[in-house]
Chain A
Amino acid sequence: MSAETGPATVRPTRLSRHLPGGLRPGPGAAPEQVQGEGAERAERGEAGGLSHLDQDRGHIMANFLLSFLALLLGGLYGPLQALDKMGINLYPYLPGVYGSYYLGLTLHGVGLALLFTFTFIIGFLSFAIVHGLRRPLASRRLGWAAFLTPLAGTILALVPLLRNDATVLWTFYAPLRAHPGFYAGLVLAVTGTYLAALNGYLTWRAWKREHPDQRTPLMAFASLTTWTMWVLASLGLAYALVMYLLPWSLDEQAEINQLLTRSLFWFTGHPVVYFWLMPVYVSWYTMLPAQVGGRLFSESLARLVFLLFLPLSIPTGLHHMFSDPGITHQAKLVHTVITFGVVFPSLLTAFTVVASLEDGARRSGGKGWVRWILALPWFTNPSVAGQLLAMLLFAGGGITGLINASYTMNLVVHNSLWVAGHLHFQVGTASTLTFMAVAYWLVPLLARRKLWRPRLALVQVWLWFLGMAVMGRGMHWMGLAGAPRRTFLSMARYADFETWWTAGLLTGLGGLVLAVSGAMFLWIMAATLLRSERAAEVPEVPEARPLLPVKHMPRVLDRLTPWVVVTVILTAIAWLPTLVQVARNNPLVPGWRLW
């Protein structure tokens, strides 16, 4: 990297030389004129007005508020769990059933991984569809229903959970049997996502009627692809809940096929990761480049990435069951191969998103091979900084994820604390920190207020990054040193805190930093809504324009049906033999309450 050493050597990089306008700040490069509707609309000056949001502002905000409540409830136990990993047991100080490590961990997992993410995503994708199509949702009622249903589900699930009647962790594997309210609540939470998806499709249909022969704007198309992936992927979980777990908890069925419900859980359990991630990509591809003054590197490839998640997300779930009996090597291997396939769109994302950021950085004066990175607003813009930091840990989590998925290598890490480390880099940071960062511009915009103390918000995202980096490092390490996941280690005989000391210390300290950061986020949100001044002018929604001209885009990149067909076929090949075999062979067993 000799280009870096010379004083003012403004050497064009290969990329910048190659990209039109790459080095030159400001518009004027030819491709900008030949662009999609987004750009045309922007030129017509429509981006400014936000009246298309008026109808749906309310229920979108309501979903965000519900998600913040879930973040609060789920987050409470986080630091206690982290301290447990360094042998500090604070649970005896908690009253009654709340002193249960596993009740706390159930609240943490269900509250954060399921309720927080679902409700935030419902709000965010609804927003992205409304704004992408510049039109209100097809049904305002359905919009509110997509808030009230998960709200009812949250209450229904939390009541038994908080009464220690559903201490089954967020994976609720049978034959541990929870109170029926818990399963019913989850059904309602999933139903909420379906209602929001349905509203999205109806809106799309109406928009297409109003705009025949036009390409669907990327922001909306990517969001609709996300909904489609989730609707297909969640069928496994929905089937397990409605056909088996709920009736069994109601004593309608005496016994259960635990391996079948477990397999159905993982049918959804891997793609749910993409349900957490694709909304993040909606921001990284279609919004973040505009936040740094850049353009989206390639719209066609962006579409391809989203569409590839459809067929490739679902036929992978067995990589969570490598250590399971009753499932053949062949089936596990098929899922391994497809898992490596689904890494591919994320690798494409690494290129496209970084290239888009580079474009923005260069337009605001960034130079050099890598020095342009410093031209990004790491220390000035909390919303951008949060997303950039989320990307850094996401890259780390991607690598640990490849290790988890590596069939034989999985034996080293399966069910160890390493997995929890991985998961906090992914859903706990890539998704959560991005959602927080998005909330920093979106919540003020919806509430028509100014963000309260942006400097504090900047400190908050950095603390989350640092806390998570330290805690994640500790958990990965401790897992390799033999610590199991979701275990009350400070009370376990085999816990080897002497060997685990440093790793445990990192976990504990990182957890405390995270708790501070999480509290700061909630505080800033509350203050923004309650105390901050009203915004004077109508803010602008960041919407990235494509950098390269979209000359000829195959029609298949603007359609979902063909991809759905491929998805169904591939899923049937990868899952049906295993599901049928497990449904036939595995003995039925009674339920247990062991807590």
Chain B
Amino acid sequence: MDIDRLERFWIMISIAVLAALMLAIVYSVRGFGVEVPTDVGQVDPRTARETEPFNQPGVRQVGPGHYEVVMLAEAWRFEPSEVRVPAGSTVTFRLTSLDVIHGFRIPNTNVNLMVQPGQVVEATHRFNEPGTYHLFCHEYCGAGHHIMDGMLIVER
């Protein structure tokens, strides 16, 4: 096939740019330890309230400076809807949904999850700055979707 010289040059540039972007992704995972959710297990939404750990929604300490937040999502609220952790702690969020697909987002962090019935979803983030973080559902879940929110308070 005839490929023009300039076009060949452009093809090389294109491949190089795409390869560089992929390396950046690898670096974000290896270098910064950013993780996207993966398969961490299933739970039946009808029995989730009786199943570990969702039978006890709330915050608990699981290690030095490490907290676990277990939350249930249902139309149109999170349970619990307010969570307190000390500044500087690492927090693992663990959620599932009791009805339809919901979202879980804390702006200005990497916490960005789909919360689905039948699936457990997890994310971990370190909160250094004390303050009040608004969290909310970012997947359409019916007429009250926009009132589905909560609060994470990082205490001094």
Contacts and interface: CB of A to CB of B under 8 A. Distances in A.
Interface of A: 14-15, 18, 100-102, 167, 169, 173, 175-176, 258-259, 262, 297-298, 300-301, 304, 321-329, 332, 336-337, 340-341, 343-344, 347-348, 351-352, 355, 402, 406-412, 414-416, 481-482, 484-489, 491-494, 496, 548-554, 557, 581, 585-589, 592, 594-595
The list of the 6 closest CB pairs from A to B, nearest first, reads: A594-B142, A482-B107, A325-B121, A484-B138, A325-B119, A587-B118
Contacts of B43: 587
A408 B103 contact: no
A332 B103 contact: no
B45 A301 contact: no
B134 to A, nearest CB: 4
A355 B7 CA distance: 10
Given A298-B4, A586-B42, A492 B149 contact: yes
Given A15-B6, A482-B108, A327 B100 contact: no
Given A494-B136, A551-B2, A323 B25 contact: no
A408 B146 contact: no
Nearest to B121: A325
Nearest to B104: A323
A328 B38 contact: yes
B142 A489 contact: no
A484 B45 CA distance: 25
Given A300-B2, A332-B38, 18 more contacts: A18-B4, A173-B100, A258-B101, A259-B118, A298-B4, A300-B3, A325-B113, A336-B22, A344-B15, A348-B11, A409-B25, A415-B105, A416-B105, A492-B149, A587-B45, A592-B75, A594-B142, A594-B143
B42 A484 contact: no
Contacts of B119: 259, 324-326, 586
A407 B42 contact: no
Interface stretch (B29-37, B55-63, B65-73, B83-91): B29-37
A351 B10 contact: yes
Contacts of B21: 340, 402, 406
B128 interface: no
B44 to A, nearest CB: 5
Interface of B: 1-7, 10-11, 14-15, 17-18, 21-22, 24-25, 28-29, 32, 34-40, 42-45, 75, 99-101, 103, 105, 107-108, 110-122, 134, 136-147, 149
Contacts of A592: 75, 99-100, 142
Contacts of B42: 326, 585-587
A493 B149 contact: yes
A168 B105 CA distance: 21
A337 B22 contact: yes
A578 B17 CA distance: 29
Contacts of A549: 2
B151 to A, nearest CB: 9
A581 B39 CA distance: 10
A408 B1 contact: no
A493 B147 contact: yes
A550 B105 CA distance: 54
Nearest to B13: A347
A258 B101 CA distance: 9
A485 B138 contact: yes
Given A325-B40, A325-B119, A352-B7, A340 B142 contact: no
Contacts of B110: 408, 411-412
B145 A487 contact: yes
Contacts of B147: 491-493
Contacts of A486: 140
Contact of B117 (A175, A348, A482): A175
A52 B42 CA distance: 59
B36 A298 contact: no
Contacts of A175: 99-101, 117
B118 A586 contact: yes
Nearest to A84: B146
Contact of A594 (B39, B44, B100, B121): B100
A326 B36 contact: no
B116 A324 contact: yes
- Which of A169, A408, A412 is the most central at the interface, judged by chain B CB atoms within 10 Å of its CB? A408
A332 B36 contact: yes
A169 B141 CA distance: 10
5 contacts: A102-B140, A175-B101, A258-B117, A408-B34, A587-B44
B120 A411 contact: no
A485 B114 CA distance: 14
Contacts of A301: 3, 7
Contacts of B40: 325
B39 A411 contact: no
A123 B140 CA distance: 33
B38 A329 contact: yes
Contacts of A410: 36
Contact of B134 (A18, A329, A494, A554): A494
Contact of B1 (A326, A488, A557, A595): A557
A119 B25 CA distance: 38
Nearest to A585: B42
A340 B18 contact: yes
A173 B99 contact: no
Nearest to B10: A351
Nearest to B141: A594
A549 B100 CA distance: 58
B117 to A, nearest CB: 5
A496 B136 CA distance: 13
A501 to B, nearest CB: 16
Nearest to B48: A587
B99 A594 contact: yes
Contacts of A482: 107-108
Nearest to B101: A173
Given A15-B6, A494-B136, A594-B99, A323 B113 contact: yes
Given A344-B15, A484-B105, A585-B42, A298 B25 contact: no
B146 A414 contact: no
A496 B133 CA distance: 12
B18 A297 contact: no
Contacts of B45: 587, 589
B118 A100 contact: no
A249 to B, nearest CB: 15
B143 to A, nearest CB: 4
B92 to A, nearest CB: 14
